[in-house]
Amino acid sequence: MAGPNPIERGLPEEARKLFAGEVDFKWGADTIEGLPPMGLPEIAFAGRSNVGKSSLVNALTGRKTLARISNTPGRTQQLNYFNVGDRFMLVDMPGYGYAAVGKEKVAKWNTMLRTYLRGQANLYRVYVLIDARHGVKPNDAEMLDMLDEAAVSYALVLTKADELKKSEIEPALEAARAVLAKRPAAFPEIILTSSETGEGISDLREAVVRLLRERGK
């Protein structure tokens, strides 16, 4: 009989301590030339402008104002780097799909993101946030296409779980699984979260630490 997986040993407590420790803003880049030198592993978070990404980053790190929350979608207009315990860089990517942003700016962002995704050897995974109420929308699918083309590992995080009825949870998960099943770079993990209730936040923290452990970091 196989013993416990060493990757899992002590995982919840390590994850709790890591995200309860130092988390500092280190860098902001709105051009490829402005990207920081490669160093610590990077784990990025992407999502539509109104998906609740800033709220999730704040909940994940146990802070209220680490990532800026605004009533105006699209305020994150650069790659924002946060050093988490000198263990990895949390990268908050620009929100996408906000109609009020001009086409020229959208094209600039997309060019920068494609270059970033293809050129970052230390980018371990991108967590793509999907509104659990609405599922994968066309602009989400475009982001997934970009990640598949760049061969960057990614997983889905469903947000706003508190706004689902209990009967809607499993269909939302099934729909997300069906999307991932067709995609070559997708990691088969879906985490259901709520920044309001804290649901799934510890699961996401543990997923990050598990990934770092698997990479020997």
- What residues does each domain of the chain span? 6-214
Among the listed residues 176, 172, 182, 191, the one whose alpha carbon sits nearest the alpha carbon of residue 145: 182
pLDDT of residue 73: 47
pTM of the predicted model as reported, rounded to 2 decimal places: 0.91
pLDDT of residue 66: 73
pLDDT of residue 82: 94
pLDDT of residue 33: 87
Rounded distance between C-alpha atoms, residue 99 and residue 121, angstroms = 32
Rounded distance between C-alpha atoms, residue 93 and residue 107, angstroms = 15
pLDDT of residue 203: 97
Rounded distance between C-alpha atoms, residue 36 and residue 214, angstroms = 25
pLDDT of residue 120: 87
Angle (CA) 65 68 69, round 5°: 100
Residues of the chain predicted below pLDDT 50: 1, 69-74
- The H-assigned helical ranges of the chain are 11-20, 53-61, 103-119, 138-150, 166-181, 201-214
- Per residue in 66-101, pLDDT (tens digit) is 765 444 444 557 899 999 999 999 999 988 876 555
pLDDT of residue 95: 85
Q: CATH classification of 6-214, choosing from 3.40.50.2300, 2.70.160.11, 3.40.50.300, 1.10.940.10?
A: 3.40.50.300
pLDDT of residue 110: 80
Rounded distance between C-alpha atoms, residue 13 and residue 18, angstroms = 9
187 by DSSP, 3-state: which? strand
17 token code pair: 């301590």
Element (H, E) at 183: none
Radius of gyration in angstroms for the set of CA atoms belonging to the chain, rounded to a whole number = 17
pLDDT of residue 69: 46
DSSP string, 51-80: S-HHHHHHHHHT-SSSS---SSTT---SEE
pLDDT of residue 100: 57
Rounded distance between C-alpha atoms, residue 43 and residue 204, angstroms = 12
